[in-house]
Amino acid sequence: MLNRLATLGQSSLNTLQKIGQSGLFLGGLIIRKPDFLKLWADLRHQLYFCGVLSCLIIIVSGLFIGMVVGLQGYHTLEKFGATTQLGQLLALSITRELGPVISALLFAGRAGSALTAEIGLMKATEQLVSMDMMGVDPIARVIYPRFLAGVIALPLLALIFSAVAIYGGYFIGVDWLGVDSGSFWSNMQVSVDFRADVVSGIIKSIVFAIVVVWIAVYEGFYCTPTAEGISQATTKTVVHASLAVLGLDFILTAMMIGSW
């Protein structure tokens, strides 16, 4: 009985310690003063890796999600004779929800897992320790550029996703199903507010970016430096980041709609 109690206590202490450690880790990354001259070479390489190489999956999935929302929305709106409102349905659902959330999920799978695996392997092959030995701060040299690049790249990817998805829906709704092009755009423009819809979508994607990259670099930096440890850390990154994105999305939406 006491043994079980001790196990419970130990595991909760471990969890708390991990949460505190990751919080301190994020705090340290955020308050760090960036030295852009030194950082620039690493940053652009990481932007290429996180941003440019994720572009293809973002554009293709954005196109198909826009097309599917257009198709489904058309067939639902048709029952009410309101197919001219397709632009409104498409733009609101994509700028508010689908754009930030799905690009964050794809980013966690595409770039987050790779970040964890890369940093974990650096730790396993003792590159991080040897950097420390040479007087180079591994957080400044390895972690910080990756963190910054991810935080810059994901909001841009989410914007590209939304724009591509709206044109995908336009293609299906207007070119294929015959919704009038003028009412498609004008209903969209009347109902979409730049600050309330587009900007809140961007704020969401910035929050998602910080959370996803934070989980990815944290899991990589503190993983068990073995082959198994790296694989577990990579899995944890994808699972935790996806759950965090979906949970935070609900909280952020509640905050934005309830306007607290």
Task: Indicate the residue among 188 and 223 with the shorter CB distance to other proteins.
Answer: 188
- Contacts (Cβ under 8 Å, ≥6 apart) of 237: 108, 112, 113, 115, 116, 215, 216, 219, 220
Nearest CA to 162 among 99, 106, 86, 89?
99
Task: Indicate the residue among 199 and 239 with the shorter CB distance to other proteins.
Answer: 199
Nearest CA to 212 among 140, 119, 104?
104
CB atoms within 10 A of CB 8: 10
d(CA 45, CA 51): 10
| Residue 47 interacts with other proteins (CB under 8 A): yes or no | yes
Task: Indicate the residue among 151 and 230 with the shorter CB distance to other proteins.
Answer: 151
Altogether, the residues listed in the chain come to a count of 260
| Rounded least distance, CB 16 to other proteins, Å | 39
Rg of the Cα trace of the chain?
22
One-letter identity of residue 48: Y
Task: Indicate the residue among 194 and 260 with the shorter CB distance to other proteins.
Answer: 194
| Residue 51 interacts with other proteins (CB under 8 A): yes or no | yes
Contact by Cβ (8 Å): 119, 143? yes
| Rounded least distance, CB 84 to other proteins, Å | 11
170 to 229, contacts with other proteins by CB under 8 A? 185-186, 188-190, 192-194, 197-198, 202
| Rounded least distance, CB 177 to other proteins, Å | 20
Paired tokens of 12 = 């909760």
| Residue 11 interacts with other proteins (CB under 8 A): yes or no | no
> Candidates 16-24, 70-78, 163-171, 225-233 — which segment interacts with other proteins by CB under 8 A?
163-171
Contact by Cβ (8 Å): 205, 103? yes
121 to 160, contacts with other proteins by CB under 8 A? 153, 155-157, 159-160
- Which of 91, 105, 114, 151 touches other proteins by CB under 8 A? 91
Sites of contact with other proteins (CB under 8 A):
44-45, 47-48, 51-52, 55, 91, 95, 153, 155-157, 159-160, 162-164, 166, 185-186, 188-190, 192-194, 197-198, 202
